[in-house]
Structure 1
């Protein structure tokens, strides 16, 4: 959109010839490959099970479900409904669109950074965004958050192009079409995930702080109003379905959520990352302190990368946290759409650090490259942890399915622990990894998910299933219990065990322990 201009001519000669879209394409492709690599290793977990089961429904069944639950994810589920019919529903296939979305977000980050900082700033920001833990996590998760990061980044770039790029010189007709594209993009993004509408607050502040023209302010205000009106149906449904996130009110206050979990993953990344953010904002702070000694600059001002990233990073998340005080409605992943802004500010800090350490252009380049490499190295262990087999909320469903496939025989029955919260129920192992349950009878199933108005299955108790004759010809049962919240040393639940004993089943002594589950074999003589 705007040609990169390298401020340091002597040190930047090799980079000045590099086109901005070349940097964007390389960085975006690298981020996609990095996110997709080993993404099939972590077991799917509760939220991803909701994605899979919702996407596998018929369109009619999906819309029926959205009237009762998960309306805020409806657009994403509809997209995934079509995607899995093309690519399948393996963990890799489910997560691949998110990897591509993160690649798109990283590409936009390089273009935003390069508008004012040149090719060097674009490359540093691209590397930081590629390894930022929040983005590498979102890029291997079958949820909409990676898409919101990509959409937020490109919408921000479009806004900058309209107020400080070639978009300013467009004729009236094409310019109106560009603002229409902005409004439509913001509406679709908010339908992907409702909370991303808070990005409008950041964009409004960017416009005001840069003293945008009245024409631009008026166009943005009309666009924002249109977006808000278009979101009314979704907002009503979200309010009616608010009990879905009622569990957030009982979640313990954890300082890590605000300190490092939001964007940086682990403390050893968060400490230097926040220091770099502060360092990146330091020049803006100094300029603000000196503003009283300098005459005001008339007319519009080009929004700096610092201004854009700070508004984008802090204002939407801050607004959600303020609302969360009154009504709990927030968890760290909801700020994924601000992760590109975190990458921009960390990159700004690295650039400032490079200039502070380097006394001449060549040493500045070396210092900047070294700091970038060190930050990437700090993020590497987080990336490895994210690709572990139990990285997703300690889920072990792939392991449970493999154990069942190796031990259960055709005609055996399976009973699942139904006392856990819906997103952790072992029954989802059968829905996410069905191969291990081939030929095994689900004797307590009441209503399958695709006929249900809620996203998972509904099940009978063991006692009720036996009254319906579901156990009449069963001689072997595999009871799959969830370990008590996965706490070290905690005893497993005993859901349904007493009822199975009352039906004449006895434990054989064969117990298979997986990471977070226990599979118990019970038998009884044939009648």
Structure 2
């Protein structure tokens, strides 16, 4: 990794081990997330059964696999799917410890809490969820004391790590302040991404349960317990992040709460079984309706520019296919990149750029306290550019130009023409001879 991201240190450590066995390709980078979703789904089934019934467990597990936030996490080469998986199994470990009331099971729970926080620091908020769980399942005073002791010991062991993470808070200065769209993000984006119809289906399920209960139909076994645990798991971390963002520092990003997706699956699962009156056919119908409602989002997640519209892979593929060893490349930092910063582009596929000369590199991210490699402006690396025969410039897309152009001296376009990433090489005699354009990016090949 060319970036140092302390929030995901354990994940990156695990991935280094993974890549010592499997090739560091996009496909193999995503496989651990797929496996983590399977692990999380199995945990949701176990958890649903422990809280309510086998039907609730299986239904919740299927909802978990179909939730757009989970299918998104499954194809991410980041620790969100793993965070959801460990959150589920830590919760299972808690319930087992409450049932068995043995020191060994409390130790297992404490270890699960520590692992959770190491995977994702935001899972620290699960401690407050577990406090709610203790109240919901009405544990005796002795069991509550055991929970306090196990949780306190786990947090004490991790206290240096938690303090270290607080010192790295500046790494998330890129998060935008909350605005009027935050309610939309919480209601839809947090679990359903762009799947509006899946939101409607979920609201209909919850409203349907209210109607069923108002008709005085008996609640299924563990219904209220499952509802309580799921609600606490959704509300406490979400409210915690929002309040912290308002009064301390902005940290709310919908994907950071992927670890609460199992709770939404539990909520939908128990509502489905309650409405379906345990009818397997009815449960299957609801699950199919939900999957169909979310289908457009599944398709979108697997499009060429599915990840925030980023075209990193397309740029890297073209560089790998068209460049020659010893060619130079330069990044135009004057354009508003999405997602920022532009340095993420070569960092995402380093093998495509490893035989090229990075003329703008100031210092790599391995320097302490930096999240990304840092650039020097083109006017400060004139000598490096002058030593090049072929220069690949990664700049912003010009919507007025076609996807591909070739010629003796292509026009730079008004925005690129004003950038030193063009003017400095131009003064040295470089001419743009080929241009590829993708979603956000223009890739220019220049020669002298």
TM-score with structure 1 setting the length: 0.74
Q: 1:116 to 1:334 in 2, by over 3 A?
A: closer
Q: State the 1:435 CA deviation.
A: 5.0
- Over residues 31-64 of structure 1, what are the superposed CA-to-partner deviations in whole Å (9 max), with x where a residue is unaligned? xxxxxxxxxxxxxxxxxxxxx435xxxxxxxxxx
> Does the 8 A contact of 1:108 with 1:153 survive in 2?
yes
> Does the 8 A contact of 1:280 with 1:306 survive in 2?
no
In the alignment, the residues of structure 2 paired with residue 375 and residue 422 of structure 1 have an alpha-carbon distance, to the nearest angstrom, of 31
In the alignment, the residues of structure 1 paired with residue 226 and residue 363 of structure 2 have an alpha-carbon distance, to the nearest angstrom, of 53
1:215 maps to what in 2? 142
> Does the 8 A contact of 2:308 with 2:339 survive in 1?
no
1:395 maps to what in 2? 310
1:275 maps to what in 2? 204
Which among 333, 342, 346 is matched to residue 264 of structure 2?
342
In the alignment, the residues of structure 1 paired with residue 2 and residue 300 of structure 2 have an alpha-carbon distance, to the nearest angstrom, of 26
1:309 maps to what in 2? 230
> Does the 8 A contact of 2:52 with 2:223 survive in 1?
no
Q: 1:495 to 1:188 in 2, by over 3 A?
A: farther
Which among 39, 61, 69 is matched to residue 126 of structure 1?
61
- Over residues 14-35 of structure 1, what are the superposed CA-to-partner deviations in whole Å (9 max), with x where a residue is unaligned? xxxxxxxxxxxxxxxxxxxxxx
In structure 2, the residue corresponding to 1:97 is in which secondary structure? helix
Q: State the 1:117 CA deviation.
A: 4.0
- Over residues 326-362 of structure 1, what are the superposed CA-to-partner deviations in whole Å (9 max), with x where a residue is unaligned? 131111011111100100101122122213xxxxx7x
CA-atom RMSD in angstroms = 2.9
In the alignment, the residues of structure 2 paired with residue 491 and residue 198 of structure 1 have an alpha-carbon distance, to the nearest angstrom, of 49
> Does the 8 A contact of 1:202 with 1:312 survive in 2?
yes
2:167 maps to what in 1? 240
In the alignment, the residues of structure 2 paired with residue 397 and residue 156 of structure 1 have an alpha-carbon distance, to the nearest angstrom, of 37
TM-score with structure 2 setting the length: 0.86
Moved more, 330-339 or 364-373: 364-373
Task: Give 5+ residue unaligned stretches, structure 1.
Answer: 1-51, 55-64, 169-174, 291-300, 356-360
The yes-or-no answer on 1:373 pairing with 2:300 is no
In the alignment, the residues of structure 1 paired with residue 90 and residue 352 of structure 2 have an alpha-carbon distance, to the nearest angstrom, of 44
2:107 maps to what in 1? 180
1:473 maps to what in 2? 387
> Does the 8 A contact of 2:223 with 2:270 survive in 1?
no
In the alignment, the residues of structure 2 paired with residue 400 and residue 388 of structure 1 have an alpha-carbon distance, to the nearest angstrom, of 15
Q: 1:94 to 1:181 in 2, by over 3 A?
A: same
Q: 1:77 to 1:284 in 2, by over 3 A?
A: farther
Q: State the 1:394 CA deviation.
A: 1.2
2:405 maps to what in 1? none
In structure 1, the residue corresponding to 2:175 is in which secondary structure? helix
1:521 maps to what in 2? 445
The yes-or-no answer on 1:482 pairing with 2:411 is no
1:53 maps to what in 2? 2
- The number of residue pairs the alignment matches comes to 425
Alignment of 1:167-206 (within 5 A): 167-168=100-101, 175-206=102-133
In structure 1, the residue corresponding to 2:21 is in which secondary structure? helix
In structure 1, the residue corresponding to 2:145 is in which secondary structure? helix
Q: State the 1:449 CA deviation.
A: 3.9
